[in-house]
Amino acid sequence: MTEDRPHLHTLEVPEQHLRGLAPQALLTLGSHVRVHFDARKGRMHEQTQHRAALAFTYLGHPAFGRANKDLLVRQPGAATLRIERDANGEARLRQRLVDAGLQVALRQSEALANHPGEHFELPGEVAWLQFVQHVVPQLRRDGWHIQMHPEFQYNLAQIDDWYAEVEETREHDWFDLELGIEVDGQRISLLPILLQAIRRTPGLLSGETLAKRADDELLLVSLPHSTQRAALPYARLKPLLGTLGELFFREPGENSERLRLPRADAARLGALQQGPTLSWQGGERLRGFAQRLQARQLAPISAPAGLHAELRPYQLHGVAWMQTLGELEVGGILADDMGLGKTLQTLAYLLAEKQAGRLQQPALIIMPTSLIPNWQDEAARFTPQLRVLALHGAKRRELFKQIAEHDVLLTTYALLPRDLKTLGAYQYPLLILDEAQNIKNPRSKAALAAGQLHARQRLCLTGTPLENHLGELWSLFNFLMPGWLGDSKAFTQDYRLPIERQGNAQRLAHLHGRIRPFVLRRRKEEVASELPPKTEITHWVELSPLQRDRYETLRLAMDKKVRAEIARQGMARSQIVILEALLRLRQACCDLRLLDGNASGLTAADSGKLSALLAMLEELVGEGRRVLVFSQFTSLLELIEPELEARQIAYTRLTGSTQDRRTPVQQFQAGAYPVFLISLKAGGAGLNLTAADTVIHVDPWWNPAAEAQASDRAYRIGQDKPVFVYKLITRGSVEEKIQQLQQGKANLARGVLEGGSQAQWQLSEDDLQALFAPLEGP
């Protein structure tokens, strides 16, 4: 029996053919982090890949690959769509990616492993950042659909704001700084973010590396508790990393969101203002000081009432600078050129502090022994309101009980270690080091003792804060603000080696930027318009112990001889004997070798005056000064010459025995030598030495007219610089006595000591007693 079976017929599905539709671009972006073991390097290696997949949609239906086939879209229960793809339209969209630098990926990547579409890649992070930052927004505006997978590492968060928050601590020695960004209303601290970035890329702390980055370049960082990342412009990172650098990224707390910085670093907050706008919160007072110090735009002040001197504008600025440091309770170095009045500025500051009620306890000033009389004299002259106590000499311990009754204490570097127990018991409002280069060796007794003293503010006065190497500068700052430049080892690693051995300009600029607010240095050229044409300065010198002993022995003998001669012949007929006695005493004030050319074993160190002169010349030549050195004694000039040679200070000389006077003058004027040694009689007239800006009279000429005539070798028509004239006078000696008589007796200046006639000889018995009086002082 056969059974009829129905016939099977193929059912034809109706089809709808669409033409002329424009393709819409669909771009999908993804990333994948792959960790594998690198056998060559012997460690795990992290590799991140990124891909872009391009597809096209027609009526919302995706298509990819070459457009050589129509797109078939089967719709259940409805006609199948046959969409004719627009090959030219797709090519134009594809070309947009090619024009943006994307290239067809030749290898498959897990970034978009199973994602349909044409895969593209870019050569590196910078290219991806540029693409996402600049190209993707334009593609969106042109109607492209952009899909970013959650793991896509360039799915960048929009930074709404940059902020900085300053919080001053109760101790006032530190302040807390938080720097961060605001994303979707949430504040995110940058410190832990940057710590991670620095660990991955240590070169971020290199000034040289930072300098090569353009301001519009971006650093990609991961945001905490988010799959998103942020692109930080180097315009912001340069001042941040350049300002704070490795100094504060060494050992911070792992989860710390704030930096705890020494108060002194407030001066560097202004550098963070560079780059994008920064919203500041808190610390207004601290930032105000920082801005004033960094810009040196200090509020104008008046000299303190009762100051017996008229301060020039740059000196008022110096006092204002010290006051600003005092308000900030940080230290500083007043490093003006020699002769610009560091002592006067400091005394004015001390007087202002007393008048403001901030000198309830005495201030302490430490200095070389020879400067004690200078400070006493200048304080008595300019600030007689200040009660000054010099803790100097063998009987100084008897004065310790008077310390609390005074405003200012003076002591020396030599005595400080011996008196540390007593002086260390006080809390000083001000601790000042004059000629602070005396602690350039941080391991010296004076440096160690000074570091143990307690003070609200510390200051250094020196025209030469750096003589040989950066370690000397570190020693000064280690006294001023201990730990602020790190310990000696860290400072050497961070600054000395890169700067001194490698000539690293970035490290030098970084160091300069750090110390600049705390070093005030004015050169004579900078303030020339404020200076008088000629400034005369008496530079007091202490006799060495050996000189004092020899001077006293000689004085007693000469006094006895002179009085015997006067008793025999009378005052007027004793001129030659008196002149000889005074000459011998004056020679003892200069150098004992002038008394006895065969004196064996004596050196420049045995002469207080020669030691002072050589220290001055080293400083002046270091400042670029051109110096005339006058002496009546050619034998003294001969003692100076080998000392200059030992210090590699170039010089020329002119004395009565010089045959060719023209050549040394021309050489000095041409700049061949910074120092010109001249005997007073040979060079006191007839010379034009306008290349000089400094004159030193080693042994004063008792006729002021002759002395001025010598000084005017430099100060004459054609001179376009202020001239400084220094007179070296030994304290308490016949030199000081004659200067006092010179000021009060014009006839003495014109008279016998200059070799005048007997008619001009008008010394009284009191004058003679003063000239041959015992040495004063310790």
Per-residue pLDDT band for 161 (boundaries 50, 70, 90) equals: confident
- pLDDT, one tens digit per residue, over 516-551 is 888 898 877 777 677 677 788 888 898 999 999 999
Task: Give the residue carrying structure tokens 């200012």.
Answer: 408
Regarding whether 314 and 248 lie in a shared domain, the answer is: no
- pLDDT, one tens digit per residue, over 33-91 is 887 777 777 777 778 889 999 999 999 888 887 777 888 888 887 788 888 899 899 99
Regarding whether 634 and 541 lie in a shared domain, the answer is: yes
- What one-character DSSP code corresponds to residue 757? -
pLDDT at 109: 86
- Length of the chain measured in residues: 778
Provide the strand spans (E) within 97-254: 103-104, 118-121, 145-148, 161-168, 174-183, 186-189, 218-222, 229-233
Domain of 332, in residue numbers = 305-529
When divided into structural domains, the chain yields a total of: 4
Q: Are strands 61-63 and 43-58 parallel, antiparallel or unpaired?
A: antiparallel
In a domain, 68, yes or no: yes
**For 101, what's the count of Cα atoms within 13 Å in the CB-facing half-sphere?**
14
Regarding whether 759 and 648 lie in a shared domain, the answer is: yes
Per-residue pLDDT band for 762 (boundaries 50, 70, 90) equals: low
H or E stretch at 552: helix 545-569
CA–CA dist 367, 542 (Å, integer): 13
Average pLDDT over every residue of 130-145: 92
Average pLDDT over every residue of 679-699: 76
What residue type is assigned to position 721 of the chain?
K
pLDDT at 345: 95
Regarding whether 399 and 450 lie in a shared domain, the answer is: yes
Burial 492-513 (b: 16+ CB within 10 A, else e): bebbbebbeeeebebbbebbee
Question: What CATH number corresponds to the domain at position 403?
Answer: 3.40.50.10810
Helix axes 313-328, 284-295, angle to 10 degrees: 150
Regarding whether 729 and 586 lie in a shared domain, the answer is: yes
User: Of 501, 529, 557, which closes a domain?
Assistant: 529
CA–CA dist 275, 135 (Å, integer): 24
> With the CA atoms of 760, 766, 768 and 770 taken in that order, what torsion angle do they form, in degrees rounded to the nearest 10?
-130
pLDDT at 348: 96
CA–CA dist 32, 453 (Å, integer): 61
Regarding whether 317 and 270 lie in a shared domain, the answer is: no
Regarding whether 651 and 621 lie in a shared domain, the answer is: yes
Regarding whether 325 and 286 lie in a shared domain, the answer is: no
Helix axes 545-569, 575-590, angle to 10 degrees: 180
Q: Residue 760 region, left (φ>0) first, then alpha (ψ -120 to 50), else beta?
A: alpha
Per-residue pLDDT band for 754 (boundaries 50, 70, 90) equals: very low
- pLDDT, one tens digit per residue, over 559-577 is 899 888 888 888 777 778 8
CA–CA dist 202, 241 (Å, integer): 11
Q: Is the pLDDT of residue 251 over 70?
A: no
CA–CA dist 761, 752 (Å, integer): 5
Higher pLDDT: 66 or 758? It is 66
Q: How far, in Å, are 210, 245, 465, 493 from residue 501 at the CA level? A: 21, 21, 20, 11
pLDDT at 366: 95
Highest mean pLDDT among 198-202, 492-496, 500-504: 492-496
Q: Is the pLDDT of residue 718 over 60?
A: no
CA–CA dist 443, 417 (Å, integer): 13
Q: Which long-range contacts (CB under 8 A, 24 or more apart) does 163-166 make?
A: 163/187, 163/278, 163/279, 163/280, 163/281, 164/269, 164/272, 164/278, 164/279, 164/280, 164/281, 165/280, 165/281, 165/282, 165/283, 166/269, 166/280, 166/281, 166/282, 166/283, 166/286, 166/287
Q: Is the pLDDT of residue 773 over 70?
A: yes
Q: Longest Cα pair distance anywhere in the chain, in angstroms?
A: 184
Question: What CATH number corresponds to the domain at position 711?
Answer: 3.40.50.300
Tokens of 708: 């001025």
pLDDT at 637: 92
Higher pLDDT: 331 or 222? It is 331
Return mean pLDDT, the chain.
81
Classified as helix, coil or strand, 86 is: coil
Regarding whether 451 and 423 lie in a shared domain, the answer is: yes
Lowest mean pLDDT among 156-160, 493-497, 524-528: 524-528
In a domain, 168, yes or no: yes
Task: Give the residue carrying structure tokens 């180097």.
Answer: 234
pLDDT at 500: 73
CA–CA dist 431, 366 (Å, integer): 8
- What one-character DSSP code corresponds to residue 309? S
In a domain, 778, yes or no: no
In a domain, 732, yes or no: yes
Tokens of 773: 């009086």
Tokens of 263: 């108060």
Regarding whether 172 and 62 lie in a shared domain, the answer is: no
pLDDT at 316: 93
User: Of 505, 529, 553, which closes a domain?
Assistant: 529
pLDDT at 641: 94
In a domain, 753, yes or no: yes
Q: Is the pLDDT of residue 752 over 60?
A: no
Nearest to 740 by CA among 491, 538, 602, 509: 538
Q: Are strands 103-104 and 118-121 parallel, antiparallel or unpaired?
A: antiparallel
- pLDDT, one tens digit per residue, over 696-713 is 999 876 666 566 666 666
pLDDT at 761: 41
In a domain, 10, yes or no: no
pLDDT at 646: 93
Torsion sign (Cα): 235, 241, 243, 244: positive
Sequence-distant (≥ 6) Cβ neighbours of residue 282 within 8 angstroms:
165, 166, 167, 168
In a domain, 387, yes or no: yes
Q: Is the pLDDT of residue 1 over 50?
A: no
Sequence-distant (≥ 6) Cβ neighbours of residue 610 within 8 angstroms:
590, 591, 604, 639, 640, 643
User: Of 529, 548, 568, which closes a domain?
Assistant: 529
Average pLDDT over every residue of 327-342: 85
Sequence-distant (≥ 6) Cβ neighbours of residue 306 within 8 angstroms:
351, 383, 385
- pLDDT, one tens digit per residue, over 215-238 is 777 777 878 877 778 888 887 777
pLDDT at 495: 82
Per-residue pLDDT band for 487 (boundaries 50, 70, 90) equals: confident
In a domain, 289, yes or no: yes
Please report the DSSP string for 329-363 in residue order: T--EEE-PPTTS-HHHHHHHHHHHHHHTT--SS-E
Regarding whether 137 and 183 lie in a shared domain, the answer is: no
Regarding whether 505 and 375 lie in a shared domain, the answer is: yes
pLDDT at 133: 84
Average pLDDT over every residue of 179-183: 84
